[in-house]
Structure 1
């Protein structure tokens, strides 16, 4: 009897989750229920799933509105009707056009027009699928209306948007947030009625007791609206079925491609390789994933044709078929990758292929996918729900309640005493709690693309975001539930570095012949590269450059490919949290420690010394240690990746895990310790193939860094850096012998460039310089260099503000004049030189020669100009200090002071904010000492609270030197940011001393 029901996917309107709606229906004893969200079908599939699970017959539709004006409610008779509605809704969302006052013809849908809407538009003809919706408040009007004559067309139209008065208040707040108005200014027409809530079915029908025909019509209409989707464990694969016309042709093509690539990938094709390939191919066919592999192969083929670099990651990297197709460059035979992590008969979804491209190439690959597979809406980007977070909800509600900004900031940051807050502030916090976690708006999944056999609108309406690709209105969990498996196409700066570095090397060293970067195996045994890794000299190199990885590489003494694969997973929070990272290091470094391993776990995981490191280790332990079948083990695998939905299912497997171990005679202490390790993996552990993919890319980067460090650093800078800021990579280039030049109108391009060992920063680093002006400078000098300021101003039309930026960064040093002289000339001549590029001049105007005094620009002044305009300085940063450092202790001295208190000075590179197991905040710091070498610090909670970081700069660090596994850190006891000198550009009393005395020979070499 309820035909118009909203979930909270009636965004910024409804307040009820889909499962709560079903609970309301169950409480009423209803056998059938319908979801009709406002201009949205986000919740439909999950609603159907929950309804079917609870033995309620589901129906779906759309409440069609312009603004908050309800035009009509459309109900799908069946799945084909849902397709019609999604196509209709998508067309209007894509083109941002209003909905028509009357619905178009639908073959498989019913349309209900509200009573008042019919009166307004004086509609007097109704087709067989059209009805008039009567609300409780319309009954008295109906008695005196000519519409009462349409007896067969009258149905009950009661709206359900919230459950109670509190949720009605939340609804009003959501509407105010949506309209960006104060709650007191929210128009009546922009909100629902307080009566729009679920009422007892008997009460609803009792209101229509005088109109039994309306009740009968409503029941009949409701019964005519059913929809079904399969969410079972053996659900049908909804992805594109074939690539080459038929399943048989697809399979034969897949086999042929693999056979062709066997001799390419392997020097010797062993029985083990042949058996593994045969096993995989049969299972892929049996599981109906042949087209899934072929689509990924076609994507890779296109990328190779376009010379796009890629890395294939995810559990698919455990597959020899993926290796032969070129989807990944990880050899599962070499690494003994666990087959059952890749695929098994119990696994309900295909393996993951996370395919990375450079950020610049990803857009083109996505376009190819849509053009090749997406005709007639058979492809779409995957959606994602952006939910209200507590802090954001506080800000939105603070505005709605009219609180001043400083009070909103205080509430949002949690910097308040609850006992001193006024009632309005308490209301903000109260309702922020209710909004927390509820959907706010639909966005785009970071990487997922769906390619379906049926039109994508069979499952959902689509939005059209600025990128221009249709995007479904549901997330990855719903997609997997329904049998739509995503193709993950990601953008990654690391690949852009590799591609650009190779191009820069070829330009800077035209006589060099580079090896095929895709064939990484020779890099794995390169002694120079492995020595770099063991010393953690990996700045700029993808995954291995972070402070945490630098620490782990040194502790483990990593000097080969297999150890780097392990390190890539050990660093993950799950392994670290379980305490097994430390245990792994101990067993790796001290063989005697390996005797502590449980014999069963040692037999299962000898390569990791009986320590669970990878996702597949959990499957192995569950299967071989706890005697769970592979299906049950896969529940654990999905559980720890965060993709499972049923806590009940996970708990059942946990109980069986414990029960089976007890039957095997295992003591509870061991059982629960193993289970603790499994649980700690939740959401964090890598598949071994995934880690191997990371290691392959790291080796590719390390090869370039090892043999062509300057070119690689330029590529790193041009791709937005990596873990660190740009100045860190500039410093790294200096360490390798580069001379770094500020931007130059004669030598620089938009991006950073290199000639020999001279690196010229690009114009893009100058803060505030407009892109069009960068292009104009580069274009203007194509045929002729700039010979003077007048010449430059005549050929490049810049505002005085833009010209000022170039002069102060010393980009015009090629004119042989200091910055002050050039600034004086620019400001004096600008009114003459400022030209219109579209108007040719008849005469060249000169300017009168003026004699100026000699100006002296000090390194300190240069440093402050660079700090302002680049946000970093190319000068030695320690010249900025107000007072010289009192300690000359450096990083290379620390080994002589183990367990002693020391003072050292460091330039802050980065600080990692984390929390202890008790929730207390602490930090890990990374600095450069005055010689330019790394200093690592740890700031435990009491120190972190008393001596917080206060931005970029040079710090005086007091602490205890400690060493663990030969990695030295300082446990900080006191931290103080050292004051800089006054900015000499604004200090007329500044004494221009000789700053060269501040730099020792080391600094002249590095900085």
Structure 2
């Protein structure tokens, strides 16, 4: 039997277009006997981590790529062959996102000139330059574009993509594409431009299209795909669709064999922290800790042994720059009189205490360092630092100024469909009255769903089914409230970066969970209103008494405080206000 793998596939991370999760696509690929699968979401690699994890768990070769949107609206499918190709793909996606409004992409064609190495290009769907030209009868333009891409990528790295979805003009288009490939001595490859795992999923894909265009299904008719053929298919079904071009199927396996790139997991190369007198980062870190040891820890021999042990673990993990970067951020805040404090498991670290990141002496409280960082666990450290919420922006701008936008960005978040938002968006697309949807939405219990609130008829059943199917799908991108990613090389060579809604803010295309699963270390710059309240209270006390309290002199053994907590008098006190905290 002819072997075939799908090289053009969109998940729900092609926002408001793909109608299946990466995991669902992988599961269906396994069911169909496909040995490899490519994920080529629109101008994004949001789903790369869950896709790779699901594929490997299922014994399927994951191939990473993207379908890029060019500045003139044309599409181009790119597949990653190796490490250089991944860096180039991330760079191209970044440039495309920076040349368009938020949520859009528009890659200048000239950007391809220096970023094609390690990438395999396919000519794309009907919105590709070549198919689009043939569909409008402009053979000369199609030949010009074929020559352009062949010269740009090289004849072995540019393939003519054949797709057949039973549209009336598909037979002619496929034949014309195959003829053009022969003229320019280019390989042909068949794909199905997959947008959902199974045929029944086409209804959800139609609804997503309507939501994307803010239109009902009737109004969106011109944007909807004409049938349910855009699902994953077996090799046998694809062979029946392309009987005259069997090599187009076997070529998919040839390309898959070339795409051997594997995502690099583990700590990124952090910016090299500037040190005095040519010291290494580790030596400078040790010097800072030694200078603070006598003043901040009274347990001499024990403290010395603990410090040496922690520094050895930090050295093994190549984390000296990380600790220096966090120390520098805290130093800046303190110099600007911005209240800040590290929290979480970093309190278990003597190094964090000596650097002033944490106010807690772990030796005095018998805290275990390995809960924070251990060479055996191999997990990236996670230092959360709270800042006066009213002044956190000053700290964020300091980070951008010190490291530059090419090396500093924030984690994204995926704003997902939930019960009420799904009900409103899906209902609007189905053409249901807005006042009815609003009334139902107010009665929805977001934990238990909404089946009891919907009309007891076919429309209600369809609405319920679609809302349940879309639940949890990413709708658009947001920005994490404080997770920073810093890199020595430009971030866009490791993962794509795109503009956030807030001016002069940028996010990477992975959220906090994906970054952690990839082993990348982040720095959490969090805003805490309680610190703002403390800052205001300190100023008020200073104004009224003439003496501003030194918060650093406060101890942890005030009987009045423990009496207050024991009595439950904690309303408004951060982290102990209720049992939920």
Indicate the TM-score class for this superposition, using the shorter chain for normalisation. Answer: 0.7 to 0.9
1:43 Cα deviation from its structure 2 partner? 0.8
Q: Are 2:428 and 1:399 equivalent residues in the alignment?
A: yes
Q: Distance in 1 between matches of 2:212 and 2:380?
A: 39
Query: Could you say which residue in structure 2 is the equivalent of 1:195?
Result: 229
How is 1:560-579 mapped onto 2 (pairs within 5 angstroms)? 571-572=579-580
- Report the secondary structure of 1:173's partner residue: helix
- How far apart in 2 are the matches of 1:176 and 1:9? 17
Instruction: Tell me the residue number matched to 1:95.
Output: 99
Q: Are 1:135 and 2:153 an aligned pair?
A: no
- Residue in 2 aligned with 1:966? none
1:71 aligned residue:
75
| Matched position secondary structure for 2:376 | coil
Q: Any idea what SS the aligned residue of 2:472 has?
A: coil
| Partner residue, 1:389 | 418
Distance in 1 (alpha carbons) for counterparts of 2:323 and 2:226: 49
Given the alignment, which residue of 494, 505, 520 partners 2:554?
520
Cα deviation, residue 331, structure 1: 1.5
Q: Quick check: 1:68–1:190 contact (8 Å CA) kept in 2?
A: no
Q: Secondary structure at the match of 1:38?
A: coil
TM-score (norm 2): 0.85
Deviation at 1:206, TM superposition (A): 3.6
Contact 2:92 2:107 in 1 (8 A): no
1:572, distance to aligned residue in structure 2 (A): 4.2
2:7 equivalent to 1:3 = yes
Distance in 2 between residues matched to 1:213 and 1:527, nearest whole Å: 81
**Aligned match of 2:437:** 408
Distance 1:420 1:517, change over 3 A: closer
* 3-state secondary structure, aligned to 2:27: helix
How many aligned residue pairs are there? 539
Over 3 Å counting, the alpha-carbon distance change for 1:239 and 1:349 in structure 2 is farther
Cα distance change of structure 1 residues 443 and 67 upon mapping to structure 2, 3 Å threshold = farther
**Are 1:220 and 2:250 matched, yes or no?**
no
What is the CA distance between 1:514 and its match in structure 2?
A: 3.0
2:371 alignment counterpart: 341
CA distance in 2 between counterparts of 1:192 and 1:219 reads 29
Distance in 1, matches of 2:226 and 2:353, equals 57
Residue 31 (1) aligns with residue 35 (2): yes
Q: How does 1:732-881 map to 2 (within 5 A)?
A: none
Determine the C-alpha separation between the residues in 2 that align with 1:419 and 1:497.
45
Take 1:537 and 1:144, find their aligned partners in 2: how far apart are those partners? 78
Determine the C-alpha separation between the residues in 2 that align with 1:483 and 1:253.
25
Residue 282 to residue 99, structure 1, CA distance change in 2 (3 Å): closer
- Please state how far the C-alpha of 1:74 moved relative to its aligned partner: 1.6
Give 1:110's aligned residue: 120
Q: Relative contact order: is structure 1 or structure 2 higher (C-alpha 8 Å, sep ≥ 6)?
A: 2
Give the drift of 1:312.
0.6
Give the structure 2 partner of residue 479 of structure 1.
515
Alpha carbons 2:451, 2:464 under 8 Å: kept:
no
SS in 2 for 1:488: strand
281, 302, 308: which one pairs with 2:332?
A: 302
Cα gap change, 1:572 to 1:153, in 2 (>3 Å): same
SS, match of residue 474 in structure 1: strand
* Structure 1 pair 539–49 and aligned structure 2 pair: CA distance change class (3 A): closer
Partners of 2:311 and 2:366 in 1: CA distance: 18
Give yes or no for the alignment of 1:448 onto 2:468: no
Name the CA distance, whole Å, in 2 between partners of 1:389 and 1:364: 34
Pairwise CA RMSD: 2.9
For residues 332 and 499 of structure 1, what CA distance do their matches in structure 2 show?
A: 26
Matched-pair contact (CA < 8 Å) for 1:134–1:156: yes
C-alpha displacement at 1:30, in angstroms? 3.1
Look up the SS of the partner of 2:552 in the other structure.
coil
1:161 aligned residue: 195
Deviation at 1:118, TM superposition (A): 4.2
Would the alpha carbon gap of residues 93 and 258 (structure 1) be closer, same or farther in structure 2, given more than 3 Å must change?
A: same
2:380–2:519 CA contact under 8 A, matched in 1: no
When Rg is computed on C-alpha atoms for both structures, the one with the higher figure is 1
Distance in 2 between residues matched to 1:102 and 1:170, nearest whole Å: 36
Contact conserved, 1:71 with 1:102, CA < 8 A, in 2? no
The question of whether the paired residues in 2 share the 8 Å contact of 1:12 and 1:175 is answered with: yes
Unaligned regions of 5+ residues in structure 1, if any?
549-570, 574-1007
Task: Select 1:47's aligned residue among 45, 51, 55.
Answer: 51
Cα shift at 1:335: 1.8
Task: Verify the 8 A CA contact 2:72 2:106 in the aligned structure 1.
Answer: no
Distance 1:218 1:536 in 2: 66
Q: Check the 8 A contact 1:68/1:189 in 2, yes or no.
A: no
The one of 399, 402, 405 equivalent to 1:372 is 402
Shift of 1:261: 0.6
Distance 1:494 1:209, change over 3 A: same
Question: Contact 1:410/1:416 (CA < 8 Å) preserved in 2?
Answer: no
